[in-house]
Structure 1
Amino acid sequence: MEARGHDAPAPLFRLLGPVVLEAGAGQVTFTGKQGALLTVLLLHAGQVVSTPRLAETVWDPPMPSAPAARVRMLVSEVRRACAAVGADVIETRRPGYLLSPGAGGIDLTLFRSQVALAREAAAAGRHAEALAHYERALSWWRGAPLDGVTGSFAEARAERLHGLKLDALEERQEVLLTLDRYGDVVSEVSALADEAPLRERLHGQLMRALYESGRRTEALEVYRRLRRRMVDELGLEPTYELRRLQSRILRSDPPPVSAGDGAGPPGPDGG
């Protein structure tokens, strides 16, 4: 591979799908333990991660023999792979290692930045602007996060990252409802049914969109299916907000402005 030229794009690390480094000279995909180690360093970019902490997160118990040596070996492998596409990003810093992603950055960071701008615009009533930011944020996703990375740490973190995506999708639907784009909400949320079968806020948004579109019976059927699933799988009734939305639809009242649990912006995922 040729070295990255002065005008080539800066290296970009991707976590929101397969773990990939894209640089001017090409791209490298990281899986298994290499991907796990790189993921830990990327989630703590700009911070020193100690060798013992890397070992604890990369390997599930029981730990391998000579874990510090195994970490050094993995770091060397990842460094070589990055260097092959012109990226030298991992530094040795006692008591471990530090990753500086450079100007290209990390897709997760860019996603969060766009979501923050979208929330700011929505709070100020600039809904078209908010929608554009949400769409830019979600464009960073290329599939299941950390796809191909192994270990319980990666599985737990992938689940949390997927939750961030669903939060952004819910907030985007709220903006679409504010813009009276009910047909878009119906088509998009219906497509998410398998991905988020118990997300009450999404189901509330679908109910509102159907009802506002004159599809009252379908809106009530969404509630009925969700309630049955929650009772069967969780032993729980829907939230008060969702029950109130169902009652309003039954009475043919205007639906509330927002429905479902977690109506406000979610907190950070803890990095």
Structure 2
Amino acid sequence: MPSVEPLTAELLGPPRALLGGTEVDLGAARRRAVFSVLALRANQPVSPDELITAVWGDRPPGNAEASVYTYVSGLRKLLEPNRSARSASELLVSTGSGYSLRLDPEATDVARFEAHRQRAASLAPGAALKELDEALALWRGEALSGVPGPFAQAQRARLAELRLVTSERRAELALESGRHAEAVADLTALAAEHPLREGLRALLMTALHGAGRHAEALEVFRDTRRLLVERLGIEPGAELLAVYQRLLQGMVAPAAPLRAAIPVRRPPAPPSVVGRQHEVEVLARAVADLSTGRGGSVWLEGEPGIGKSALLAVLLDEAGRRGHQVAWG
């Protein structure tokens, strides 16, 4: 009997089966779905019931079991075209509880993707970056593209998240290696695809800042905050705020140019304010907002002698105690 040609399966894109490096036509969508399940669960038994649920979900047609048998038979002929009708399959074997696709450990691009990721986790930044580049180069589009069924849908979501996490880690390594301009290009595209993913936006801000594009880095924060408020009704999380604060602290202008531009003197000492508890609380909240990256303006208005300057002194004292730069002119 002729020897079986080595089989590889590519699933990080439209599913492909290659015999000895030559692609074979997997056929109709549901046969590709059965192949995808067997390839992702290579060397494990998969029962007919599992295949039916994977392809059709909770409402399979009455002939689902017969269809699975037909798809498996078709795949056997496709993957071992020289096998005689009387000999058992060596690639897609029958087990006591179903079917199993026999593949080498790294015969699928999904397995190779995972292997690159695992190796990168224990390497120095330069070598890890190379491993992640090789992992991401395996992708040919959306995983399991065009494959129907709940199994494929769940795997697409899982693999897409892994791809995104890998891209984020690759960007972190690029930043650690000082490759800020390169990281900006990759992160800009990723952030556009995932505008509400704060970790990506934080990395993009860091990359822009490292590339000397400070104003753009701050604009990313403002844009992200606007999107979060408009779409989700939430404020940025602690990680994004921390990056924003670090960038602000790194870009505060030195005191000398400020004094040269306008007359500046020390703020007055805060007096004892009586009967203005509500106003004091409003001002304290404004300073607290500033500490979390939400700046704004406060308008103090009233008759002469009513105590506006005293309230302002309280505000400036609170801002100074929280570590903000204060100017009084």
Shift of 1:234: 2.4
Alignment of 1:97-112 (within 5 A): 97-102=99-104, 105-112=107-114
Structure 2: state its 5+ residue gaps.
84-88, 253-329
**Do the aligned partners of 1:207 and 1:219 also contact (CA within 8 Å) in 2?**
yes
Shift of 1:23: 2.1
- Which residue of the partner structure matches residue 293 of structure 2? none
**Do the aligned partners of 1:198 and 1:226 also contact (CA within 8 Å) in 2?**
yes
Alignment of 1:34-45 (within 5 A): 34-45=31-42
Deviations 1:56-101 (A, max 9, x none): 1111342111432221111112222222499952111121111111
Deviates more, 1:179-188 or 1:56-65: 56-65
The residue type paired with residue 16 of structure 1 is: L
**Do the aligned partners of 2:113 and 2:138 also contact (CA within 8 Å) in 1?**
yes
2:69 partner SS = helix
2:227 partner SS = helix
Shift of 1:39: 1.4
The residue type paired with residue 149 of structure 1 is: V
Q: 1:214 and 1:73, CA in 2 relative to 1: closer, same or farther beyond 3 A? A: same
Residues in 2 aligned to 1:158 and 1:253: alpha-carbon distance in whole angstroms: 42
- Which residue of the partner structure matches residue 76 of structure 1? 73
Residues in 2 aligned to 1:193 and 1:88: alpha-carbon distance in whole angstroms: 46
1:21 partner SS = strand
TM-score (normalizing by structure 2): 0.69
2:16 to 20, 26, 38: 20
**Do the aligned partners of 2:15 and 2:145 also contact (CA within 8 Å) in 1?**
yes
Shift of 1:230: 2.1
Residues in 1 aligned to 2:25 and 2:110: alpha-carbon distance in whole angstroms: 16
1:232 to 230, 233, 236: 230
The residue type paired with residue 78 of structure 1 is: L
Deviates more, 1:239-248 or 1:82-91: 82-91
Residues in 1 aligned to 2:199 and 2:35: alpha-carbon distance in whole angstroms: 34
Residues in 1 aligned to 2:172 and 2:45: alpha-carbon distance in whole angstroms: 39
Residues in 2 aligned to 1:26 and 1:85: alpha-carbon distance in whole angstroms: 15
Deviations 1:193-232 (A, max 9, x none): 3332222222111100111122111001111112222222
2:29 to 29, 32, 41: 32
Shift of 1:120: 1.0
Deviates more, 1:102-111 or 1:154-163: 102-111
User: Among the aligned pairs, what percent are the same residue?
Assistant: 35
1:142 to 140, 153, 169: 140
**Do the aligned partners of 1:23 and 1:85 also contact (CA within 8 Å) in 2?**
no
Shift of 1:236: 2.6
Alignment of 1:116-265 (within 5 A): 116-121=118-123, 126-252=124-250
- Which residue of the partner structure matches residue 92 of structure 1? 94
Q: Count how many residue pairs are aligned between Structure 1 and Structure 2.
A: 246
Residues in 2 aligned to 1:101 and 1:234: alpha-carbon distance in whole angstroms: 45
**Do the aligned partners of 2:13 and 2:139 also contact (CA within 8 Å) in 1?**
yes
Larger Rg: 2
Q: 1:28 and 1:85, CA in 2 relative to 1: closer, same or farther beyond 3 A? A: farther
Residues in 2 aligned to 1:98 and 1:177: alpha-carbon distance in whole angstroms: 44
**Do the aligned partners of 2:38 and 2:101 also contact (CA within 8 Å) in 1?**
yes
1:175 partner SS = helix
**Do the aligned partners of 2:105 and 2:111 also contact (CA within 8 Å) in 1?**
no
**Do the aligned partners of 1:11 and 1:103 also contact (CA within 8 Å) in 2?**
no
1:192 partner SS = helix
The residue type paired with residue 71 of structure 2 is: L
Shift of 1:142: 0.8
Residues in 2 aligned to 1:229 and 1:84: alpha-carbon distance in whole angstroms: 55
Deviations 1:163-213 (A, max 9, x none): 111111001011001101000100111122333222222211110011112
Residues in 2 aligned to 1:241 and 1:46: alpha-carbon distance in whole angstroms: 42
